[in-house]
Chains A and B, each alone.
Chain A
Amino acid sequence: AQSVSQHNHHVILSEAASLELGCNYSYGGTVNLFWYVQYPGQHLQLLLKYFSGDPLVKGIKGFEAEFIKSKFSFNLRKPSVQWSDTAEYFCAVNKKLTGANNLFFGTGTRLTVIP
């Protein structure tokens, strides 16, 4: 079965520190990859997505992610975090060309940024 792993459960950083959140998936076929963010008390919002092409994708608010096919990974990065980045971050994977539009989510990583 397809699964998505986020190994960091809770990450605590000081402002201006660099961030990298890990995401690995288990599906061997062609996939679409996503990072969603959920700010406290809010709904999920798309940060960035990868479908094809350049494996380094840039998203909103200075976030980027790199798809490494050989490692089945799609890690999220930001060079310098801000207090406002405190949120829950979810990696998600969806199989391409499937009739069932099912997005599989990881268990999330809580990021706390200390001012």
Chain B
Amino acid sequence: DTAVSQTPKYLVTQMGNDKSIKCEQNLGHDTMYWYKQDSKKFLKIMFSYNNKELIINETVPNRFSPKSPDKAHLNLHINSLELGDSAVYFCASSLGTSGYTGELFFGEGSRLTVL
């Protein structure tokens, strides 16, 4: 069973469109994250949710809106896509602040290409 799963794996779309990426984890973790990996492989955190509550919101355009319906899911919705949004988006999860050890478990990534 995949511990952290993301869909879709590949997404090609036109500028201006709205798209979503879904993430689910079956590890029983209560903290989930979205990371963006650019073309130079640099990984930067975008958002983090703990028990459905937003706890990290880095300087990300408000066209990006995360949604966590429950602690096992964290979806990423992107409005009005721009060329610069092309990247690989990784979902991750970890244990929460109590018993937190810092280890993140990553999904396989969703490669978004904006044309």
Known contacts A34-B103, A99-B97; A105/B42 CB under 8 A: yes
Q: Which of A21-29, A38-46, A60-68, A69-77 contacts B (4 or more CB under 8 A)?
A: A38-46
B102 touches A49 (CB 8 A): yes
User: How many residues on the A side are at the interface (Cβ–Cβ under 8 A)?
Assistant: 25
**In this assembly, does B48 line the interface, its C-beta being within 8 Å of a C-beta of chain A?**
yes
B41 touches A88 (CB 8 A): yes
B41 touches A108 (CB 8 A): yes
Q: Which chain A positions have C-beta within 8 A of B4?
A: 43
Q: How far is the CB of A72 from chain B (nearest CB, A)?
A: 17
A49 touches B103 (CB 8 A): yes
A103 touches B102 (CB 8 A): yes
Which of A32, A51, A88, A100 sits near B55, CB closer than 8 Å?
Answer: A100
A100 touches B56 (CB 8 A): yes
Known contacts A43-B109, A44-B90, A108-B42; A101/B56 CB under 8 A: yes
Q: How far is the CB of B89 from chain A (nearest CB, A)?
A: 11
Question: Which residues from 77 to 115 on chain B have a C-beta closer than 8 Å to any C-beta of chain A?
Answer: 90, 94, 96-97, 100-104, 106-109
Which residue on A lies nearest to B42, using beta carbons?
A107
**How far is it, in angstroms, between the C-alpha of A34 and the C-alpha of B45 when the chains are bound?**
16
Q: Which chain B positions have C-beta within 8 A of A96?
A: 102
Q: How far is the CB of B31 from chain A (nearest CB, A)?
A: 6
A101 touches B100 (CB 8 A): yes
Which of A43, A46, A99 sits near B90, CB closer than 8 Å?
Answer: A43
**How far is it, in angstroms, between the C-alpha of A102 and the C-alpha of B55 when the chains are bound?**
10
B106 touches A32 (CB 8 A): no
B102 touches A34 (CB 8 A): yes
Known contacts A90-B43, A107-B42; A100/B48 CB under 8 A: yes
B106 touches A43 (CB 8 A): yes
**In this assembly, does A86 line the interface, its C-beta being within 8 Å of a C-beta of chain B?**
no
Known: A49-B103, A51-B101, A101-B102. 13 other contacts (CB 8 A): A34-B103, A36-B106, A46-B104, A51-B102, A90-B43, A100-B56, A101-B31, A101-B33, A101-B55, A105-B42, A105-B43, A105-B44, A107-B40
